[in-house]
């Protein structure tokens, strides 16, 4: 049968023209319908085993019942075969990623003589409406955004820890245009859930009048048929964007059928296109998801001449404008500054620095998804980017005592730069001091001691001392100290007696003064 029943007058014309030996294609052209539709009605005419004259005596009501019989009146063996299969098919459709089209192909392999796809869909829709009638929900432009999580997670690599973790896939859809947003998030916590909702609103470039979530803990603190209690942070987010929260009824997926359907489409159009064995960071995974999401939104809708994107462009003007600032959900904790000048955020198991003068003080720690702020009696004393790296430290050098800060800046390049300012000879000597140690850090104190002589004896004497130490092949702090202490850096300036041979190992008379 055709998807859409035609009028009784056209059925009479099909039978009349067919009786006049007119071909199916020509009948279809004359009546403005496809050849296959004409063929289906002619086949049904033969199955009725009646004559044209007897049919024409029937009223339109009687003729309609013959060609479009109610579900319970049909006795056709092929139709009965379908009705026996539909309950089994309904059970199969509950499997993730399963479609009616795939089940039809499987049924056709088992029963080659069965109806074609068009008739299969026609009888299935008749049976479904009879067995499981559904209420049609009329969606208004700019009215609701439906949100949910897909049941299947996606593996990704955490760049901070190197661990393989499972991402929760968030799905949102506008009720009227069916324009969708999909994003993989680290978790279903209230922080990530609110961030995902915000990203969806930014993606839609406008705010709907209401958000319809499922009864997940991040959205609904206590489910109720009549007056559910919404999570305070989620409500604060809704207030910031000028929208309201309308939780769906518990165990009533029909309340959010659009997003349920979009979850299924995500499995079919996004999940199946992601590399199976390639595990990537979350940011890279979302780039791939959004590429396939764009294709899904831009694809033409079944039975329509437009896409979700086309409909969204029409709906955009009905969405409320975005606020000037984004929403940052914040949590507050009381913390004590440890002796090392850091506080501990137990949620991330991470340490953050504060000015060392606050050691032992109690501070208020306020944090969002991206930022950590610390207050002492309402005064902001430290701000850090939030880092979810357990057992590690985030330290601002300005928070450390001067002597500690100075030590943390020590490096081979640090000492080389300081030596270069004095003289290239000193720079070369310091490079040799560093090179003589198995690890550069073993020479840091020696380098610091050598460079400190510049303030005590001046750059010229230090340069000559380094030159003198190089000539005898010693590279350490002690040799420089001895040369300067014994004024051996002035050796070249002394007037040497004519009878005294010139040799590096001869200290000279000044050494003994």
- Residue 212's φ and ψ, nearest 5 degrees, are -110, 100
- Residue 120's φ and ψ, nearest 5 degrees, are -60, -50
Three-class DSSP category at 397: helix
Q: What does the block give as tokens for 36?
A: 């296959």
Better pLDDT: 395 or 243: 243
Q: What does the block give as tokens for 192?
A: 């990530």
DSSP 301: P
Chain centroid to CA 352: how far? Answer: 26
Tokens 């007058």: give the residue: 9
* Residue 256 pLDDT: 61
* Residue 222 pLDDT: 66
According to DSSP, the residues that pair with 171 across neighbouring strands are 148, 182
* Residue 319 pLDDT: 92
What does the domain layout of the chain look like in residue ranges?
Answer: 8-131, 144-318, 331-401, 410-512
Q: How far is it, in rounded angstroms, from Cα 97 to Cα 101?
A: 11
Tokens 């005592």: give the residue: 401
The mean pLDDT value for 475-497 works out to 76
Pick the range with the lowest mean pLDDT from 77-81, 120-124, 151-155, 179-183: 77-81
Radius of gyration of the chain (CA): 41
Q: What does the block give as tokens for 113?
A: 């003589």
What is the share, in percent, of the chain residues with pLDDT greater than 70? 83
HEC letters along 129-160: HHHCCCCCCCCCCCCEEEEEECCCCEEEECCC
Closest by CA to 216, choosing from 191, 239, 190, is: 190
DSSP letters spanning 40-108: HHHHHHHHHT--HHHHHTS-HHHHHHHHS--GGG---HHHHHHHHHHHHHHHHTTSTT--HHHHHHHHH
Q: Nearest-5° angle of CA 364, CA 370, CA 375?
A: 15
Q: How far is it, in rounded angstroms, from Cα 471 to Cα 62?
A: 120
Q: What does the block give as tokens for 131?
A: 């067995």
Closest by CA to 274, choosing from 416, 154, 435, 185, is: 154
The mean pLDDT value for 329-357 works out to 87
Three-class DSSP category at 305: coil
* Residue 131 pLDDT: 61
Better pLDDT: 63 or 38: 38
Q: How far is it, in rounded angstroms, from Cα 506 to Cα 483?
A: 13
* Residue 35 pLDDT: 86
Neighbours of 46 (CB within 10 A): 9
DSSP letters spanning 9-36: HHHHHHHHHHHTT--HHHHHHHHTS-HH
Q: List, edge to edge, every strand of the sheet that includes 393-394.
A: 342-345, 350-353, 393-394
- Residue 488's φ and ψ, nearest 5 degrees, are -70, -15
Tens-place pLDDT, residues 421-436: 999 999 999 999 888 7
Question: Is residue 494 very low, low, confident or very high in pLDDT (cuts 50, 70, 90)?
Answer: very low
DSSP letters spanning 229-281: EE-HHHHHHHHHHT-EE-PPPTT-GGGGHHHHHHHHHHHHHTGGGS-SS---B
DSSP letters spanning 399-420: GS-HHHHHHHT--HHHHHHHHH
Mention every residue, 6+ apart, whose C-beta is less than 8 A from residue 273. Answer: 288, 292
Closest by CA to 425, choosing from 453, 460, 457, 474, is: 460
Question: Is residue 204 very low, low, confident or very high in pLDDT (cuts 50, 70, 90)?
Answer: very high
- CATH class of residue range 144-318: alpha beta
Q: How far is it, in rounded angstroms, from Cα 399 to Cα 381?
A: 10
* Residue 1 pLDDT: 45
Reported pTM? 0.47
Question: Is residue 138 very low, low, confident or very high in pLDDT (cuts 50, 70, 90)?
Answer: low
* Residue 73 pLDDT: 42
């Amino acid at each position: 049968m055709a998807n859409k029943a035609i009028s009784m007058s056209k059925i009479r014309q099909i039978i009349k023209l067919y009786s006049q030996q007119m071909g199916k294609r020509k009948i279809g052209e004359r009546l403005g319908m496809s050849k296959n539709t004409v063929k289906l009605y002619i086949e049904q005419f033969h199955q009725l085993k009646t004559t044209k004259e007897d049919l024409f005596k029937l009223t339109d009501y009687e003729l309609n019942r013959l060609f479009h019989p109610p579900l319970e009146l049909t006795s056709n063996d092929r139709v009965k075969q379908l009705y026996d299969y539909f309950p089994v098919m309904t059970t199969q459709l509950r499997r993730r990623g399963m479609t009616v089209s795939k089940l039809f192909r499987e049924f056709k392999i088992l029963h080659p003589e069965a109806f074609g796809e068009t008739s299969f869909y026609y009888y299935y829709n008749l049976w479904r409406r009879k067995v499981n009638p559904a209420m049609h929900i009329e969606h208004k432009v700019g009215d609701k955004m439906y949100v949910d999580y897909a049941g299947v997670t996606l593996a990704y690599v955490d760049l901070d820890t190197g661990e393989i973790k499972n991402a929760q896939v968030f799905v949102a859809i506008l009720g009227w245009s069916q324009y969708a947003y999909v994003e993989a998030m680290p978790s279903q916590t209230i922080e990530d859930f609110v961030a995902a909702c915000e990203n969806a609103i930014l993606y839609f470039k406008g705010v709907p009048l209401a958000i319809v979530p499922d009864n997940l803990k991040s959205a609904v603190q206590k489910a109720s048929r009549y007056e559910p209690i919404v999570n305070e942070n989620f409500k604060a987010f809704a207030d910031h964007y000028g929208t309201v929260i309308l939780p769906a009824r518990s165990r009533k997926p029909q309340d959010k059928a659009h997003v349920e359907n979009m979850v299924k489409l995500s499995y079919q159009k996004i999940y199946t296109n992601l590399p199976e064995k390639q595990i990537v960071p979350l940011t890279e995974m979302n780039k791939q998801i959004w590429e396939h999401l764009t294709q899904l939104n831009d694809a033409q809708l079944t039975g329509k001449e437009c896409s979700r994107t086309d409909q969204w462009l029409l709906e955009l003007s009905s969405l409320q404008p975005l606020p000037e600032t984004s929403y940052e959900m914040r949590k507050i904790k009381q913390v004590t500054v440890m002796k090392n000048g850091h506080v501990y955020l137990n949620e991330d198991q991470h340490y953050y620095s504060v000015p060392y003068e606050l050691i032992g003080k109690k501070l208020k720690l306020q944090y969002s998804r991206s930022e950590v702020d610390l207050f002492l009696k309402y005064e902001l004393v430290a701000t850090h980017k939030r880092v979810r790296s357990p057992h590690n430290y985030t330290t601002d050098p300005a928070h450390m005592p001067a002597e500690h800060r100075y030590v943390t800046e020590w490096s081979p390049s640090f000492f080389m730069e300081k030596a270069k300012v004095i003289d290239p000879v000193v720079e070369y000597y310091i490079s040799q001091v560093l090179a003589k140690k198995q690890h550069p850090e073993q020479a840091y104190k020696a380098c610091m001691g050598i460079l400190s002589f510049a303030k005590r004896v001046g750059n010229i004497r230090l340069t000559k001392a380094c030159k003198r130490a190089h000539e005898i092949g010693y590279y350490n702090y002690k040799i420089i100290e001895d040369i300067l202490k014994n004024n051996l850096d002035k050796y070249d300036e002394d007037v040497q007696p004519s009878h005294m041979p010139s040799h590096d190992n001869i200290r000279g008379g000044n050494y003994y003064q």
